Amino acid sequence: MGRILTMPLDREPEIDKKERLEVMRHSAAHVMAEAVQSIFPDARFGIGPSIENGFYYDFELPRSLTPDDLPSIEAKMGEIIALNAGFIREEMTKEKARRLLAAQPYKLELIDEIPDETVSLYRQGSFVDLCRGPHVTAAGEIKAFKLLNIAGAYWRGDEHRPMLQRIYGVAFDTEEALSEHLLWLEEIKKRDHRKLGRELEIFIFDDEVGPGLPLWLPNGGIIIEEIEKLAKETELKHGYVRVRTPHLAKEDLFKRSGHLPYYAESMYPPMEIEGVRYYVKPMNCPMHHKIFASKTRSYRDLPLRIAEYGTCYRYEKSGELLGLMRVRSMQMNDSHIYCSETQFGQEFAAVVFLYLEYFKIFDIKEYYMRLSTHHPSGLGKKYVNNSAMWLKTEDMVRRAMDSNNIPYREAVDEAAFYGPKIDVQVKSAIGQEYTLATNQVDFAQAESFDLKFANEKGQEERPLIIHRAPLSTHERLVGFLLEHYGGAFPVWLAPVQVTVIPVADRHLDYARKLEAGLSSEGVRVKVDARSERMSLKIRQAQLDKVPYMLVVGDKEVATATVSVRLRSGEQLPAQSLASFEETVRTVIADKARDLK
């Protein structure tokens, strides 16, 4: 139902404001379409909704747009808004709407899909659009807006259909809010993990090595070592065993596992050795299944939790790569848990609780769990063809989540090929949502690998398998953490934890003594021994986001103390080295974010 937007007084002002903005953004999309139509009379129109912070509209045009077109479209929009034409809603039969929009094939397609007998159209100035509404009453209500970029977008999101040209814009109710938003866009560029990764010398990509194949620099190596240490300690505590497996395997293994039928398009092409085809592994599971099958298993062995930081390779289309977030070589915090059906609920929930344990350490608060289920239309194509097991395991996951009061959302058609999964969606500090951790059920591979164990009655039973990667891959986790912390890692992860800054060269001996003391405590410490001014060294340590700076000059040497500057700029009281060591030890041991 179209609704003329007025100002109801009985509504929550915040909700009302949000809705009013959405309506205004949607109307801005129509105005943009009108502007485009006036420049390209033959334009064909796709859809033009409001989105977070703004709007877009998809067009089919006689030529490609370039960024240079945006100012003239913006100017035209300004003229349209100045005319303040009313948005007029008309309801009519589909037949009449088809005649009116006869030159608009995309609109005709949309009309065909509307179940109702009548449809609504909105008219403003010279532009008419099929639209559910609502809209502003007149174009003059559209306030501060800006067109940001153009992009290709497949009609209806289908890569087999034509690619339209999309223009994105942002719109706010005041100029202040708009410039605030534009400022924020500038700010988040500084927090981009690709920029921070280069500045802090965490990782690089090299054209000759290849796209999506990161090289970890020494600083990145330290962070990865720390994360692995955490994973190994935690997994030991939770009863996991560690294995190691090769990067390659014969074709037959991946045929058996189901990767070749269901996952081939994400795998690198095979290589042939002595007449046998080998594939680089996209996942570790088949290898772990072989380890499970390497001897007779009893119910007493279960749950068997096999863990490995396995390196996997996946072919991602070139346009899909994104810094560390989407790569082609990755090290996964992988494990496969083999358990009986009765153990499943508890094991599955234990993995979810493991996520929460990690998220607490990394101070990750913005996330939600997503139950990704199959869609029947994908059976035998995307998904292993066993409808009964899909329904059964999806229900088992729901029960495991519900009985532990863990909230989740369901997403149909997002499952892995071998079973449903819980994905943990996190929002990075710069607003992008990623699947970080994952917890997957596998009902298919136990059968294809003929995995079994002897139960209490001495009968053979199939285990269920849980694939899990709570710490994601090193690549995605470090990429996420770079943005999450803005490069200012907590001390336990910081590549350099303490920089000692001698005021003048004569303080170098004392600085070296401090370095030796801290180093023997396992603290990652460096002396900035350059013949430079102290303030330059402080600046350098600040830019490197080193948590602690120890400034030492005549005063410190004389009193055998250290002057502690935090990277926040805060100054701690002068103290003995022993006292500082105590602080650092505690902060590292607690994996604390606070430096004091």
Partner RNA sequence: GCCAGCGUAGCUCAGUGGUAGAGCAGCGGUUUCGUAAACCGCUGGUCAAGAGUUCGACUCUCUUCGCUGGCUCCA
Q: How far is the CB of 351 from RNA (least distance, A)?
A: 14
Q: How far is the CB of 533 from RNA (least distance, A)?
A: 4
Tell me which of 49, 71, 78, 210 binds RNA, using CB under 7 A: 210
Which residues in 421-440 contact RNA (CB under 7 A)?
423, 434-438
Q: How many CB atoms lie within 10 A of CB 143?
A: 16
Tell me which of 6, 569, 573, 594 binds RNA, using CB under 7 A: 569
Sole window of 21-29, 293-301, 325-333, 403-411 interacting with RNA (rule: CB under 7 A): 325-333
DSSP state at residue 241? E
Tell me which of 323, 419, 420, 470 binds RNA, using CB under 7 A: 323
- Token output for 21: 């903005």
Tell me which of 241, 539, 578, 596 binds RNA, using CB under 7 A: 539
**How far apart are alpha carbons 472 and 486 in whole angstroms?**
19
Q: Going by DSSP bridges, is the β-strand pair 88-93/54-60 parallel, antiparallel, or unpaired?
A: unpaired
**How far apart are alpha carbons 182 and 146 in whole angstroms?**
9
Burial of 260 (0-12, 13-18, 19+ CB in 10 A): middle
Tell me which of 249, 397, 469, 595 binds RNA, using CB under 7 A: 469
Tell me which of 11, 190, 555, 596 binds RNA, using CB under 7 A: 555
By the rule CB under 7 A, 476 interacts with RNA: yes
Helix count and strand count (H, E) for the chain = 18, 29
By the rule CB under 7 A, 47 interacts with RNA: no
By the rule CB under 7 A, 327 interacts with RNA: yes
Q: How far is the CB of 373 from RNA (least distance, A)?
A: 13
The residue ranges of DSSP E strands in 432-506, in sequence order, are: 433-442, 453-454, 460-461, 464-469, 498-502
- Closer to RNA by Cβ: residue 145 or 453: 145
By the rule CB under 7 A, 209 interacts with RNA: no
Whether the Cβ atoms of residue 314 and residue 283 lie closer than 8 Å to each other:
no
Residues that contact RNA, how many (by CB under 7 A): 77
User: Tokens 């008419």 sit at which residue?
Assistant: 128
Torsions phi, psi for 176 (to 5 deg):
-65, -45
Which residues in 160-179 contact RNA (CB under 7 A)?
163, 165-166, 168
Which residues in 260-319 contact RNA (CB under 7 A)?
314, 316-319
By the rule CB under 7 A, 538 interacts with RNA: yes
Q: How far is the CB of 242 from RNA (least distance, A)?
A: 20
Helices 218-237, 474-484: axis angle to 10 degrees equals 110
Which residues in 88-107 contact RNA (CB under 7 A)?
none
Q: What is the DSSP string of 189-230?
A: HHT-HHHHHHHTT-EE--TTT-TT--EE-HHHHHHHHHHHHH
- Closer to RNA by Cβ: residue 135 or 166: 166
- Closer to RNA by Cβ: residue 49 or 522: 49
